Each structure stands twice: as C-alpha cells, then as structure tokens.
C-alpha cells in the first residue's frame, strides 16, 4: 500500500510538472514586453500595478491580467527603479502606442529594483521626436527642454527577463 502511494505521488508530481510546464509551452505564461536599457533592446513583464487604470491598460496591451495592488504606491524610494513611458512621439509598441519603455537599471546593478516608478514622458515638440533607448539620453533631452517627465505616483512590478549582458 505504501509503495502504491509513493508511485501515485510520483506520477501525480510528473503530471503537475507537465501541466505547469505546458503553460509556458502553449503560451499561457505572462507574455514578455519589449523595451530599452542602456541603448539595448530588453524584455520584461508587468505583473502588478498600484493603479487600476494602469493595470487595465497593461492587461489590454498584452492580454494577460495585471493585478491591482494599491499598496505598491506606498513603497519607499529605495525600493524603486524608474521606467519611462512615452505618451507621444515616435509610433511604437508602448502602452500608449508610442516607442517602447526605457529602463534605468539592470539586474546586478546597485540601483536595480523590479518595482518601477512610472514616469510619463511627452515631447514638447513632436516634430523633434526621435527614438530614445537609454535613460541617460532621455534625461539629457529632458534637461535641454525637449521632453517633459511627469510622475503620477504609480508603481508597477516590471522585472526584466533580458538585459545588456544577461537574462533569466
């Protein structure tokens, strides 16, 4: 009897492993999103957001539920990195259908955090809009007056899957 239970448990464990593994094989896992970091294309996911409207927008964007966790908005600054999301400018695959998001820190760096402070970026003169692929260039454009950056107080969990020099 004990041996039969062990065999049943082993078979059940294999079935669970297959079922969980098949979620990734058949595309029901959280879909990756494309962005930029340090001038290089990266991939990331968004899983939770502090704001219901942002969660809805991201859910619609990738067809995968982004969970609302209002408490994320009260995370202290030392727990946050930045993500820059464009609200106008170059057409692309970002949440507002403009260029992909730009990140400021990668895993392994002292500033990396998967929780991201949302920074909304808009070009002051859309005729000057061009693709920006690093936080350094984006901040320089803001300093020169080409961009406006607003922080609406939203925090999103956005762990990177691939980055310059690494991946999960």
- Which DSSP symbol is given to 47? -
List the structure tokens of 140: 């320089």
The per-residue pLDDT for range 29-77, each reduced to its tens digit, is: 889 999 999 999 999 999 999 999 999 999 999 999 999 999 999 999 9
Q: How far is 88 from 64, CA to CA, in rounded Å?
A: 24
The per-residue pLDDT for range 88-114, each reduced to its tens digit, is: 999 999 999 999 999 999 999 999 999
Instruction: Report the candidate in 113, 122, 130 with the shortest Cα–Cα distance to residue 152.
Output: 122
Quickly count: other Cβ atoms within 10 Å of residue 24's Cβ. Answer: 10
Q: How far is 72 from 154, CA to CA, in rounded Å?
A: 8
Look at the pTM and tell me if it is higher than 0.85.
no
Q: 119 near 151, Cβ under 8 Å? A: yes
The strand pair at 48-49 and 155-157 is best described as antiparallel
Task: State yes or no: pLDDT of 137 exceeds 70.
Answer: yes
Higher pLDDT, 24 or 114: 114
Q: How far is 102 from 41, CA to CA, in rounded Å?
A: 9
pLDDT value at residue 29: 83
């Amino acid at each position: 009897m004990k041996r039969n239970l062990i065999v049943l448990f082993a078979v059940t464990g294999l079935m669970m492993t297959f079922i969980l593994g098949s979620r990734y094989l058949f595309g029901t896992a959280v879909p990756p999103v494309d962005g930029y970091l340090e001038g290089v294309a990266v991939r990331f996911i968004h899983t939770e957001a502090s704001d219901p409207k942002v969660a809805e927008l991201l859910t619609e964007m990738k067809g995968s539920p982004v969970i609302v966790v209002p408490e994320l908005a009260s995370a202290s600054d030392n727990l946050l990195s930045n993500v820059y999301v464009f609200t106008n400018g170059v057409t692309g695959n970002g949440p507002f259908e403009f260029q992909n998001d730009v990140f400021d820190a990668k895993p392994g760096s002292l500033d990396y955090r998967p929780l991201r402070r949302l920074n909304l970026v808009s070009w002051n003169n859309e005729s000057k809009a061009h693709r920006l692929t690093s936080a350094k260039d984006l901040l320089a454009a803001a300093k020169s007056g080409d961009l406006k950056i607003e922080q609406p107080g939203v925090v999103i969990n956005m762990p990177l899957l691939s980055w310059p020099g690494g991946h999960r």
